[in-house]
Structure formats: C-alpha cells, structure tokens
Amino acid sequence: MAGAIPTVTLDQEINPWEAQSARFEFAARKLNLEAGLWKMLSTPTREVIVHFPVTMDSGQIDMFTGFRVQHSIARGPCKGGIRYSPEVTLDEVRALASWMTWKCAVVNIPFGGAKGGVICDPKKMSQGELERMTRRYTSEIIDFIGPEKDVPAPDMNTNEQTMAWIMDTYSMHMGHTVTSVVTGKPLNIGGSRGRVEATGRGVRVVCDESLRYLNMPIDGCRVVIQGFGNVGSNAARLMMEHGYKIVGVSELEGGLANPNGIDIHQLIEFKQRNGTIQGFRGAEATPSEELMVSECEILIPAATENMITSRNAGEIKARIVVEGANGPTTAVADEILAEKRIFIVPDILANAGGVTASYFEWVQDRQGYFWKEAIVNEQLETILRDSFDDVVRYAEAHNVNNRIAAYMLAIDRVAFTIKQRGIYA
C-alpha cells in the first residue's frame, strides 16, 4: 500500500470515517469497482439523529443525543452494536456501520451493517437513568429497527441488560414479545449460549490460524493484549487455556506484565472482586503504552480505536497484530506496519466472532429452538477458520495485504449482491 494513502494531519488520521474511507477507496480501486457501486457503497443508506429527554434521578429533565446509522441492506437486515460514551460522534458511528457491512460480508453471514450510539457518560449514571435513557432512545429509533430491518447488539458500555431493555421496549410497542429484535440478550430471554465469549473465541481461532500460516508454534508464543473487557479478557482466558503465554494485559488505568505468563483465571477473579486489574500481585504494573511496544509474538489491541498510530507503529515489535477492537490501527500506521512486514489480521475478520454468534442468536430466536454451546462454538470456529483462509488466499492472489484483501473480498461480495438484485434507481 506504500504511497497509496495521501499524507494526512493527525486529526484526519484518527478520524474513524477517514480511516474507513481510505481503506475502502484503496480496495475499491484495486477491484476496479464500477463508479455507481462505488458511490453507493461509500455512503451510508440512512443516518438517524435523535435528541430526546430523560428524567434524571434528581427529577430534572436532561436532553441526550443518539445516532443509528445503517450502511447497507444489500445482503440482509442491518446488524450492529450500540455504544454509550461521551466520545460518540456521527463520524465514528458511520465508520463502525460501514465496518459492520464489510465484517458480515467477510464471514459471509446474511446481514448488512449498522451502528448506534448515545452521547452520555454511563459511569456517572444510575441504573434507573440508564434504563430510562435506553427505553426512550429505543422508542425514538423504533421505526428503523426490527428483526427484518436492523438488529442492534451490545458494544462499548452496553451489555445484556441494555439489550433486555431494548427488547422489552420494542415488544411493548409491538404488543407481543419479539426476542429477535436484538442480540446479546440474557440467556433466558432468547440469548445464545457462547455469545458472551464469542468475540474472544474468534480472536483465538484467527491467532491459531495465523501461527499455522506462518509456521510458528503456539508453545511459547508470547501475547500482549490491550483491553481487558469482554473481548480482551475472554481472548486472554481462551488463549491461555490453549497454550499461549499471556505476558501483558492492560486497561485504561494501566497495565500488567509478567514474562513468565500471567495467570488469567486468577486475574479475572481479581477483577471480578475489585473491579480493576490494578494491584494484581501476579504481574508487574506497566504502562499500557509500554506494553504495546514490548517484545511478543502476537499483539492484540482489544480496547478501542486509534491505539496504533504513526506515533507508535514504528516501535511495535510483535510479528503478528490481531485486531480485537474495531479500528485500532490508523491507515497511516498500516503503511508503517506493512513496511515492517508485520502480519495483520484486520478487525473485520479478527473480531467477527461476535457478529457470527449474534447471527446464530437471531436464527435461534426465529426458530424458537436453542442450540447446545458446543454446536455454537464449533460452527463459529468453522466460519472463522474458513474466512481466515478466504482472506489470506485473496491476499496471495491479488498481491495485497490482509486488510485490503478482506475489504476487497467484502466489497466484491456486497457489490455482486447489489448487481444481482438490481438497482432501484
């Protein structure tokens, strides 16, 4: 990709929409994508912005702003998480919605991409406030979501409980229970076994496949994981159980390192008891930024966007980067990693285990028949392994890196479907 991406300012570099667009354009050019399809796929289908009131515990009314962006419905209903954060922007939600289209196409499941978000600080809100905000946000976007239209899921700072509230609010409006309107629900109201750890499991599978592809052993493979939330902690546990040595993990507040390997079972227990990994005795406190550039075979950014930028990419020592988070590497950093010949498993493949299990949940809800956990895990592993294979073969055939290969494969699949359906224009 060297030379293909124009020089940009740091602000542009860390704008997720710019990052998404840079990769899309590069891949679309390589594919010789027709101009009309190019225009269609570089623009989201629908962007909903809502401003709505919530009664706070003090009795006062506060106004909140929420988004739901639907990028494409070519291959099926939209699918994508909802995040709560003070940093949510329309550009971020747009980028995440597009990434969902490409992700669903890479793993070949019948969904288009969407994403939602509400600008709020969930850490400063009570459960009651979060519930009222979630219900009102749901009612504001209710005409645009549904099992055949757009199926939300959890993302940063939203969880099973949030999905239960959305499902209940939607069901109250419909007059009957509609479990398949969201995924990532609690088990007893239509959730799927294996969903909670699915993204981490997918990360483990693509790590196994990367090592196999590069002819490297799992035994003694040192791993650093940034982020110890849903994705990071589940990936860490499953990988340790599989023979990897987790030598570093970090959270926003700081990280931990142990060259002999951190006992992840103990660390998870510690975090459950204390709400943080800080103070864990089985490893040494180490800043997150230091861990990112420390010696290891696999680096897994599993926190948030823009963690690998032009500022630190040159210092990264890992042989393999597996993107558990969405958009952790900027387009400029990509070029630096490519020059260093670091093998990248891009986000739209590496973290697709979550949406794959969500697809299984949606199928189970619609069937009213629930699968054993072993079936969910086995099917998920097969899909991730096949998709990894598709991407690396595509990269070899077109002489591009894995990220561009994943985009090309995805764009090709979506464009093909649009052509088959015909354009109602």
Q: Which residues are catalytic?
A: 115
Contact characters 239-278, ligand NAD, x per CB under 6 A:
-----------xxx--------------------------
Question: Is the Cβ of residue 376 or residue 415 nearer to ligand NAD in the bound state?
Answer: 376
Footprint of ligand NAD on 144-163 (CB under 6 A): 155-157
Residue 231 interacting with ligand NAD (CB under 6 A):
yes
Question: Is the Cβ of residue 113 or residue 354 nearer to ligand NAD in the bound state?
Answer: 354
Contact characters 325-364, ligand NAD, x per CB under 6 A:
xx------------------------x--x----------
Taking the complex as a whole, how short is the minimal distance between the CB of residue 318 and ligand NAD, in angstroms?
Answer: 16
Which two structure tokens, joined as six digits, stand for 398? 């077109």
Q: Which of 229, 264, 283, 300 binds ligand NAD (CB under 6 A)?
A: 229
Taking the complex as a whole, how short is the minimal distance between the CB of residue 175 and ligand NAD, in angstroms?
Answer: 31
Among the residue ranges 48-56, 69-77, 226-234, 393-401, the one whose residues contact ligand NAD (CB under 6 A): 226-234
Q: How far apart are CA 322 and CA 318, in angstroms?
A: 10
Among the residue ranges 66-74, 167-175, 224-232, 386-394, the one whose residues contact ligand NAD (CB under 6 A): 224-232
Question: Is the Cβ of residue 38 or residue 228 nearer to ligand NAD in the bound state?
Answer: 228
Residue 228 interacting with ligand NAD (CB under 6 A):
yes
Q: How far apart are CA 315 and CA 313, in angstroms?
A: 5
Q: How far apart are CA 66 and CA 50, in angstroms?
A: 5
Q: Which of 20, 138, 169, 230 binds ligand NAD (CB under 6 A)?
A: 230
C-beta nearest to ligand NAD: residue: 229
Taking the complex as a whole, how short is the minimal distance between the CB of residue 358 and ligand NAD, in angstroms?
Answer: 8
Q: Which of 16, 80, 248, 324 binds ligand NAD (CB under 6 A)?
A: 324
HEC string of the chain equals: CCCCCCCCCHHHHCCHHHHHHHHHHHHHHHHCCCHHHHHHHCCCCEEEEEEEEEECCCCCEEEEEEEEEECCCCCCCEEEEEEEECCCCHHHHHHHHHHHHHHHHHCCCCCEEEEEEEECCHHHCCHHHHHHHHHHHHHHCCCCCECCCEEEEECCCCCHHHHHHHHHHHHHHHCCCCHHHCCCCCHHHCCCCCCCCHHHHHHHHHHHHHHHHHCCCCCCCEEEEECCCHHHHHHHHHHHHCCCEEEEEEECCEEEECCCCCCHHHHHHHHHHHCCCCCCCCCEEECHHHHHCCCCCEEEECCCCCCECCCCHHHCCCCEEECCCCCCECHHHHHHHHHCCCEEECHHHHCCHHHHHHHHHHHHHHHCCCCCHHHHHHHHHHHHHHHHHHHHHHHHHHCCCHHHHHHHHHHHHHHHHHHHHCCCC
Question: Is the Cβ of residue 82 or residue 392 nearer to ligand NAD in the bound state?
Answer: 82
Footprint of ligand NAD on 155-214 (CB under 6 A): 155-157, 199
Question: Is the Cβ of residue 138 or residue 351 nearer to ligand NAD in the bound state?
Answer: 351
Residue 401 interacting with ligand NAD (CB under 6 A):
no
Footprint of ligand NAD on 279-308 (CB under 6 A): 288, 302-304
Q: Which of 16, 227, 248, 346 binds ligand NAD (CB under 6 A)?
A: 227
Question: Is the Cβ of residue 20 or residue 326 nearer to ligand NAD in the bound state?
Answer: 326
Torsions phi, psi for 146 (to 5 deg): 155, 160
Q: How far apart are CA 96 and CA 116, in angstroms?
A: 9
Residue 66 interacting with ligand NAD (CB under 6 A):
no
Under rule CB under 6 A, how many of the chain's residues touch ligand NAD? 23
Question: Is the Cβ of residue 157 or residue 162 nearer to ligand NAD in the bound state?
Answer: 157
Which spans of this chain sit near ligand NAD (rule: CB under 6 A)?
Answer: 155-157, 199, 226-232, 250-252, 288, 302-304, 324-326, 351, 354
